C-alpha cells in the first residue's frame, strides 16, 4: 500500500491499495517507488510486476511483468524505466513506459550463472540521463556506470 501524507497537516491524502479480489496492485513486498511526474508513480518489488499508478485515480492503471526488485532499483527518465533485478541473468533492464515493452537488457555476469550477481540499486544520473549506474552483491560485488 502506498500512502501519501500531506506534510503541512500530517494527514493521509491517498492510499494505493495492494492486490485484492477486485483491485490491481502488488501482492508482495514493494521495494522501489519513483515519481514519473506529479500525477504518476511507478513501483516494483518481489512480485516481479512494475505498476504505473495514476494518483488522480488512486489506482494502478497499467502494469507489466518482468523485473524482480529487492532494493531501490527502479528509475525513470525520458520515457524509459530502468530496473535492476534480483535474478541470476538479465539483471539490468530498460522498458518503454508507453508500450511497456523491454527495450534492452544487460546480463551483468555475461551469462555465467555460477558468478551470479544480484542488483540492489539502479539509477539514471541526475546530471546526464544518458548515464546510468547499478550496484550488485554476489560473487563480485561492484558498481558499474553505463553510457
- Return the pLDDT at 88: 80
Angle (nearest 5°) at CA 75 between 12 and 80 = 120
Helix, strand, coil share of the chain (percent; to 5): 0, 55, 45
CATH architecture of 2-146: 7 Propeller (2.130)
Per-residue pLDDT tens over the stretch 21-51: 677 888 899 999 999 999 999 999 999 999 9
Does position 123 have pLDDT exceeding 70, yes or no?
Answer: yes
What pLDDT, on a 0 to 100 scale, did the predictor assign at position 82? 97
pTM for the whole structure: 0.85
Burial of 140 (0-12, 13-18, 19+ CB in 10 A): exposed
pLDDT digits (tens, 9 = 90+) for 44-86: 999 999 999 999 998 899 999 999 999 999 999 999 999 999 8
Amino acid at each position: 500500500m502506498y500512502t501519501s501524507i500531506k506534510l503541512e497537516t500530517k494527514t493521509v491524502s491517498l492510499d494505493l491499495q495492494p492486490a485484492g479480489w477486485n483491485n490491481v496492485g502488488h501482492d508482495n513486498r514493494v521495494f522501489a517507488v519513483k515519481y514519473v511526474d506529479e500525477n504518476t508513480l511507478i513501483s516494483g518489488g518481489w512480485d516481479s510486476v512494475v505498476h504505473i499508478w495514476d494518483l488522480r485515480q488512486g489506482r494502478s492503471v497499467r502494469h507489466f511483468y518482468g523485473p524482480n526488485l529487492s532494493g531501490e532499483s527502479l528509475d525513470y527518465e525520458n520515457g524509459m524505466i530502468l530496473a535492476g533485478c534480483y535474478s541470476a541473468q538479465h539483471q539490468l533492464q530498460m522498458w518503454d513506459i508507453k508500450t511497456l515493452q523491454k527495450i534492452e537488457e544487460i546480463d551483468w555476469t555475461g551469462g555465467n550463472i555460477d558468478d551470479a550477481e544480484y542488483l540492489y540499486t539502479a539509477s539514471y544520473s541526475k546530471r546526464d540521463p544518458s548515464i546510468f549506474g547499478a550496484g550488485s552483491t554476489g560473487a563480485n560485488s561492484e558498481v558499474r556506470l553505463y553510457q
